[in-house]
Amino acid sequence: MRAPAIIPAAGVGHRMKSSVRKQFLTLLDRPLLDYSIEAVDSCKMIEKVILVVCEDDLAFCRDRYLKKRRLSTPVEILPGGKDRQESVYLGLRHLQSLDEAPQWIVIHDGARPLVTNKIIKEVLKAAYKSMAAIAAVPVSDTMKIVKEDKLWTDKTLDREKVWAAQTPQAFSFPLLLEAHKQAEKNGFKGTDDASLLERLGHSVCIVEGEDENIKITRPVDLKLAELILSSRKGAL
Ligand code: C5P
């Protein structure tokens, strides 16, 4: 059984403090986005890719960026929304509008270039069994809820029960679409897709992810990603 994948890559990346949009920053001589697209493309369980990019990058991606890449999976490009949730929802609605809407869906952030083919497969297989699955890792730091002013701690979470959610995340397509519809209707914003299901009482299964599958958010993440990639290539 195969599934399409949505890659949300329409973020502006303010926290990178760079004039170049995050997905096109250079990571070991190549645009950061190459890595997530290629990891998804190399996964035989993925039948097509819906790449969601900023309106301003649409023509560049369609006419230049994708043409230069030799991908084996068909890729469609869509303009994104004002936040991640909206970008994913636009991808889901596009898929639903096709003659044959998919049964399953994989979501993987363009900002996680170090994802492996193995974890994409494991998460999708777990979703086939449980309807909803995510990659997540246990946290090593002690996690605090802070006061609204962000100057004072409020309380400490039980570290044993706190895991950091990553992407890939995979779901039954109708289930995720419904969760997005409900979230939009109720004005709920979540920072990942699983949270939209959790609020409706659905269980989401965890596949232990990989610590190296970091999200590029701040400049230090890019340095770390370069080190990890170099060590994978045996250059360190
Ligand atoms: O910044 P954040 O952690 O929300 O970004 C996660 C992913 O969502 C990134 O790959 C980013 O490009 C994407 N995103 C998007 N549309 C937005 C904002 C973020 O596709 N409007």
Whether pLDDT at 235 is above 70: no
Task: Give strand pairing partners of 22.
Answer: none
Whether pLDDT at 146 is above 80: yes
- Nearest ligand 1 atom, CA 36: 10
> Residues 51, 57, 63, 69: is their CA dihedral positive or negative?
negative
> Which of 32, 83, 109 to mutate to test ligand 1, by most ligand atoms within 8 A of the CB atom?
109
Q: What is the CATH number of domain 3-235?
A: 3.90.550.10
> Which of 87, 108, 189 to mutate to test ligand 1, by most ligand atoms within 8 A of the CB atom?
87
How confident is the prediction for the chain on average, in pLDDT?
95
> Residues 141, 147, 151, 152: is their CA dihedral positive or negative?
negative
- 119-129 per-position pLDDT tens digit: 999 999 999 99
Whether pLDDT at 18 is above 90: no
- Nearest ligand 1 atom, CA 109: 10
Residues 6 or more apart in contact with residue 20 via CB below 8 angstroms = none
Is residue 1 within 8 A of residue 104, CB to CB? The reply is yes
End-to-end CA distance of the chain: 38
- 20-49 per-position pLDDT tens digit: 888 899 999 999 999 999 999 999 999 999
Measure 166 CA to ligand 1 centroid, in angstroms: 13
Q: Which of 171, 168, 170 is nearest to 209 (CA)?
A: 168
Measure 118 CA to ligand 1 centroid, in angstroms: 23
Report domain extents, the chain: 3-235
Measure 157 CA to ligand 1 centroid, in angstroms: 26
